Amino acid sequence: MQDVDPAWLPDGASRPIGTRRTLIRGTGPLVDTVRGEVEKACRRFGGAVVQDDPDLVLELTGDDGSEAFTYGRRDSRTTVTASGGAGLLYGLFHVVRLGESAFLGEAEREEHRPELALRMLDHWDNVAVHPVMGQVERGYSGGSLFWEDGRARGDLDRVRAYGRLLAACGINAVAVNNVNVHAAEARLLTDRLREVADIAGALRPYGIRTHLSVTFAAPVVLGGLETADPLDAGVREWWAEAVARVYSEIPDFGGFVVKADSEGQPGPFAYGRSHADGANMLAAALAPHGGTVHWRAFVYNHRQDWRDRSTDRARAAYDHFVPLDGEFADNAVLQVKHGPMDFQVREPVSPLIGAMPGTRLAVELQVTQEYTGQQRHVCWLGPMWSEVLRFGIAGETPVGALARGGLVAVSNVGDDPFWTGHPLAQANLYTFGRLAWEPGADPHRVLDEWIRLTFGDGPAAGVRAVLTGSWRTYEKYTAPLGVGFMVQPGHHYGPSVDGYEYSPWGTYHFADRDGVGVDRSVASGTGYAGQYAKPWDEVYESPDSCPDELLLFFHHVSYGHLLKSGKTVIQHIYDTHFEGVEEVAAAAEVWASLVDLVEPARHARVTERFVEQLRSAREWRDQVNSYFFRKSGVPDERGRTLY
């Protein structure tokens, strides 16, 4: 394995355990993993795995598959017990996170148990390099950990190291290929299954189940059948046999991820069948083996006519799926993007969450920073995700709705030596894992945890200052007030205010000389606001009650419209864009001041990224401000330069 960044598991993180005497009780593959971790730490720091007089006891008491563990400390002895191997492993990493404090004082026994059973990363990795999308679709961290130029990587050490990092933040499921399933990738289900099994073998010791994205058209493109109709007996039989073969190679296989009838992918609509029909057919094939189908709700018309203001992409997932509530099988999970559009820096929470009580839902976040700076910009997304997870909708939070489904995110990891391109983007991956374990956690506490593990205490205050407000900073210098999509078409990096304005993608801002924004009210707009349960339908319906940060998502208002902040919309645009750039410059200065406190290669990489972030932020500022100045004719109150 090439020399890679240790991320949140640097040598030093294992010192507290590695200097101590640890007793390990129990057997099984995950206990072996735990023992290996402890032995390695002891070799490094002089401690030992012992049979008596331990400082630390790690004990597996059963074999029930539980991920929970109990932790406590009494009489100078720290004890972790678990009734399942994964629980013991999570308990070990809990001790790692606690560091020296795990071996100080006393601690009441307390149980730790993940609130969500499924904590999953989806890799949009292609096996064959896609002519447009490359090796990793929306990947900003080099190549894929799994695939290279059409083949599986021979060396799985990096995959094992990845699994270890994921276990240390609580992730327990990985889908190893892109939801857009092209020709080479389709065959992972059949004649290339061995390559998936090898990856599953590398991830299994870390409590991670492997999933596969499959094409709905597999019976046709792989099986040579004439149809992929989910109600066709031959099709169902083909899938049953395909699934049986998968489980014969990968007994703990997690299941399928499916993007169907979405952006050109095939799906049940071609056969006049519903998405419940499609998902349940795959669920039926997986059920005998304990597998799950993740069925994505990202279904909308991507060939929309921009002239048609009555069609609203934001409505699509709700309109398609809410009528199907109660029809999905028990082992089918409907995977819903957190917002109604597509991972913009600011969106409302999807109204579908909370509107399907009879369906297992998973929320999909995007750790890879497609629209949030592509890992060239610092943009720690913890606060955004936390807002989503804590949002109250239909009498419950998304967390409640997700208890039976889970939390899923698109991974931001590649074969880059820093894993995530931008070293500080590791914080997003870590935060996702920890929020998936405990969705109500304070994200800033998670951030501090990540900083201390990754950097130690020296630069902690500086790193925190750089990261803590970075999402709001990014929001300030990009698309304003929730309006979204002002990025360059295709690659989605950098500003293009009208880039999607006349496109078929359903992503418009409707700016004219008088105002800007999308009227999604029931009274005069697309009616999207009416998809929300109370009180949000009413809150969003009127520009008077709609929160400022979502105003242009829900309403078309004049440039002179007064925000709750007391500023006009146009002055808000100017002010936030100037502020955003100033905040980036300030963050870059803070980072520069850490030069003696941060490992040199890591410091240099971040410094280099800040140069680009600052250039890009200025470009965003000037293009957005000039665009709205040219349209509105309103000068900046403070007389700053507009072009």
CB of 131 to a copy of itself, least distance (A): 8
Binding to a copy of itself in span 376-415, by CB under 8 A = none
Q: What is the closest distance, in whole angstroms, from the C-beta atom of residue 557 to a copy of itself in the complex?
A: 15
Q: Using CB atoms within 10 Å of the CB of residue 641, give its burial: 0 to 12 exposed, 13 to 18 middle, 19+ buried.
A: exposed
Q: Out of 513, 566, 600, 639, which residue is the one contacting a copy of itself (CB under 8 A)?
A: 513
Q: Report helix, strand or coil for 21.
A: strand
Nearer to a copy of itself, 39 or 619 (CB): 619
User: Measured from the CB atom, is 146 or 628 closer to a copy of itself?
Assistant: 628
* C-beta separation of 167 from 90 below 8 A: yes
Distances (CA, A) of 499 to 221, 224, 235: 35, 41, 42
Stretch that binds a copy of itself, among 246-254, 519-527, 593-601, 624-632 (CB under 8 A): 624-632
- Contacts (CB under 8 A) with a copy of itself, residues 268-307: 306-307
Helix H segments across 58-213?
A: 85-98, 157-169, 183-186, 193-203
Burial-class residue 231 by CB neighbours within 10 Å (0-12, 13-18, 19+). middle
User: What's the closest the beta carbon of residue 115 comes to a copy of itself, in angstroms?
Assistant: 45
Please report the DSSP string for 216-249 in residue order: TTHHHHTT--S---TT-HHHHHHHHHHHHHHHHH
Catalytic residue list contains 342: yes
Candidate residues 633, 635, 637, 640; the one interacting with a copy of itself per rule CB under 8 A: 633
The minimum distance between CB 643 and a copy of itself, in angstroms, equals: 5
**Using rule CB under 8 A, residue 632 touches a copy of itself:** yes
Q: Alpha-carbon distance 484 to 517, whole Å?
A: 10
Contact code string over 591-620 relative to a copy of itself, x by CB under 8 A: ----------------------------x-
The answer for 170, left when phi > 0, alpha when psi is -120 to 50, beta otherwise, is left
How many angstroms separate the first and last alpha carbons of the chain?
50
- 526: nearest Cα among 313, 323, 322, 349: 313
Q: Least distance in Å: CB of 480 to a copy of itself?
A: 16
130 contributes a contact to a copy of itself by CB under 8 A: no
Nearest CA among 156, 50, 30, 143 for reference residue 93: 30
Q: Using the rule CB under 8 A, is 311 a contact of a copy of itself?
A: no
Q: Which stretch binds a copy of itself (CB under 8 A): 29-37, 419-427, 449-457, 493-501?
A: 493-501
Q: CA triplet 449, 450, 456: central angle to 5 degrees?
A: 85
Residue nearer to a copy of itself on the CB measure, 237 or 622: 622
Tokens at 251, concatenated: 């007994």
**Extended strands (E) in 433-592:** 515-516, 557-558
**Tally of CA atoms within 13 A in the half-sphere of 40 that contains its CB:** 12
511 contributes a contact to a copy of itself by CB under 8 A: yes
- For residue 108, give both structure tokens: 């009441």
Q: Which of 263, 498, 589, 637 binds a copy of itself (CB under 8 A)?
A: 498
When asked if residue 512 is in the footprint of a copy of itself (CB under 8 A), the reply is yes
Window 65-94: residues binding a copy of itself (CB under 8 A): none
Question: Of 247 and 306, which has the nearer Cβ to a copy of itself?
Answer: 306
Is 370 a known active-site residue?
yes
* C-alpha atoms less than 13 angstroms from C-alpha of 483 in its C-beta half-sphere: 27
| Minimum CB–partner distance for residue 186 and a copy of itself (Å) | 24
Q: How far is the CB of 502 from a copy of itself (least distance, A)?
A: 5
Instruction: Indicate which single residue of 190, 558, 607, 623 sits in contact with a copy of itself (rule: CB under 8 A).
Output: 623
* Residue number, 103 or 627, with CB nearest to a copy of itself: 627
Question: What pairs with residue 332 in β-bridges?
Answer: 293
Question: Which of residues 502, 544, 566, 596 is near a copy of itself by CB under 8 A?
Answer: 502
Among 630, 635, 637, 640, binds a copy of itself (CB under 8 A): 630
Nearer to a copy of itself, 455 or 620 (CB): 620
d(CA 570, CA 177): 43
The number of residues in the chain equals: 643
**Which CB atom, from 194 or from 630, has the smaller least distance to a copy of itself?**
630
Residue 56's DSSP bridge partners are: 22, 78
Closest CA relative to residue 252, chosen from 185, 201, 213, 295: 201
CA distance 51 to 44: 20
Compute the least distance from the CB of residue 504 to a copy of itself, in Å: 10
Exactly one of 496, 585, 597, 612 binds a copy of itself (CB under 8 A); that residue is 496
List the catalytic residue out of 148, 342, 575, 583. 342
Contact 255, 200 (CB under 8 A): no
CA distance 455 to 335: 35
- Of 190 and 626, CB closest to a copy of itself: 626
Measure the CA–CA gap between 424 and 430, rounded to whole angstroms.
10
Interface residue with a copy of itself among 157, 241, 514, 637 (CB under 8 A) is: 514
Distance of alpha carbon 613 from the chain centroid: 22
Name the minimum Å distance from CB 227 to a copy of itself.
30
- Check binding of 631 to a copy of itself (CB under 8 A): yes
The answer to whether residues 230 and 280 touch, using CB atoms and an 8 Å cutoff, is yes
Of the residues 370, 438, 449, 475, only one is catalytic, namely 370
Q: Which is nearer to a copy of itself, 25 or 309 (CB)?
A: 309
**What phi, psi does 167 have (nearest 5°)?**
-60, -35
| Cis omega (within 30 of 0) for bond into 288 | no
By CB under 8 A, is residue 442 in contact with a copy of itself? no
643 binds a copy of itself (CB under 8 A): yes
Number of residues forming the site for a copy of itself (CB under 8 A): 23
CB nearer a copy of itself, residue 270 or residue 634: 634
Select from 83-91, 110-118, 390-398, 506-514 the region that touches a copy of itself (CB under 8 A): 506-514
**Is the CB of 333 or the CB of 511 nearer to a copy of itself?**
511
DSSP string, 167-209: HHHT--EEE-S-SS--HHHHGGGTTTHHHHHHHHHHHGGGT-E
Other Cβ atoms closer than 10 A to 228: 26
263 carries an active-site annotation: yes
Q: What is the smallest separation between the CB atom of 488 and a copy of itself, expressed in angstroms?
A: 8
Catalytic residue among 11, 32, 263, 608: 263
Q: Which is nearer to a copy of itself, 227 or 626 (CB)?
A: 626
Which residues are marked as active site? 263, 342, 370
Q: Which residues bind a copy of itself (CB under 8 A)?
A: 306-307, 495-499, 502, 511-514, 619, 622-623, 626-627, 629-633, 643
